[in-house]
Structure 1
């Protein structure tokens, strides 16, 4: 393992340490994520950045008590990992992921929780489950392209489970986009999609997801970004204006 240290981001040092996935804290999308982070910090969210000996950022992990997770998961007294990422391929498979997982595990144990859980997928914007399997996680639920992985040290605790987001989709007739500021790139995508919708005379209804409970009840597995048309989920992660134009051509 290369020499590395973990820095915890707090509302007091976020301007200096950044949010990892966006470095320029003066950008509007960074400010939106910062406001989201500061509110969630009060709910137990932890954002920790992994750095090398020269203070270069290598990766990060974001986790929160599952009761406040922004994913469709039920996991009483578990810690839920929102995001985890090692930036450069050359730094992967060096034990850095294990280091961050151990950080979350120690934190959960210190709070007398029953275990950790995380959603994984082979598709976009999610970690592959193989990383977690290497470190004692087992698959406890699955839906669509998503798996729910869990590592628990209290054998008596019920396994975490996924909430069925497909039943929510029929409530969204017409064009709908639901999004949260959890990802700093959502705001830019929403603006781009609105412009495309206007060009095509489409009434795209925008709904901001403001609470963990709203995210848990969102109509997709990712929760934080949901594009739907007439009760069908079209995308569950942010997309470009070009991608949206292609979707419109296929749907209409």
Structure 2
């Protein structure tokens, strides 16, 4: 079976859709923010590969050294997202995308590929059970159930930065760290802001806008992290129901 995929480049980025939120030419603030974020990342070796169709079928990964996550390691790729949805599931697209990533890593002489997971699968993280079918293994953990998975080619392994295992901040108010890597982030921020304004809930939104800030975060992070009463809660993007469960604690 021949599958038609396309890799985003700085030349085609403005014209290709970004899979997560498929729109026409109408402006979308989350997509526009993602394009701006991605433009600089592509020059760092970041890869966004997608099915050449209006579908949510894509993989996104980057050299670990320039990946906006508090994970350390030498010569690895970090897999941000592998997503196949809807009627495209079960047709081999996920397998093709993962195999492309692994082949690319080997071709580039990488030591392996790693990704963020959790003891209990999180809805906004790639399916770690699928990754394990390719040989990914748990190589580091946090005490609240987050896991670092890696497929090593040379026996070396990455690890969470020590600051990522802190999982606490001094502030007691609802605190959210975020970057613009995911097109959904803009609308989720608006949902949280509106709820907090309506209900008088103090909120501290902290934009992670440099690689250094991302590497120094006090928790695991894929593009979003929530704290409440000083304690790290989740990397999941929030809807109102999830936010209310956190605020009841």
- Alignment TM-score, normalising by the size of structure 1: 0.86
Tell me: CA distance 1:159–1:98, structure 2 relative to 1, closer, same or farther (3 Å).
same
- Deviation at 1:246? 4.5
Deviation at 1:60, TM superposition (A): 0.3
Q: Which runs of 4+ in 1 moved over 6 A?
A: none
TM-score scaled by structure 2? 0.87
Q: Distance in 1 between matches of 2:54 and 2:185?
A: 26
CA distance, structure 2, for counterparts of residue 91 and residue 176 of structure 1: 35
Structure 2 gaps of 5+ residues are: none
Equivalence for 1:201: 200
Output aligned runs, 1:52-131, within 5 Å. Answer: 55-57=53-55, 59-88=57-86, 91-92=89-90, 94-121=91-118, 122-131=121-130
Q: How far 1:21 moved relative to its partner? A: 0.5
Counterparts in 2 of 1:1-252, with a 5 A limit? 2-24=1-23, 26-51=27-52, 55-57=53-55, 59-88=57-86, 91-92=89-90, 94-121=91-118, 122-143=121-142, 144-155=144-155, 158-164=156-162, 165-248=164-247, 250-251=248-249
Partner Cα separation in structure 2 for residue 226 and residue 137 of structure 1: 24
Aligned residues: 243
Query: What is the deviation of 1:80?
Result: 1.1
The alpha carbon displacement at 1:175 in A equals: 2.8
Change (3 A) 1:120 1:131: same
The answer to whether the Cα contact below 8 Å between 1:114 and 1:152 also exists between their aligned partners in 2 is yes
Deviation at 1:223, TM superposition (A): 4.2
Give ranges in structure 1 of 5+ residues lacking alignment. none
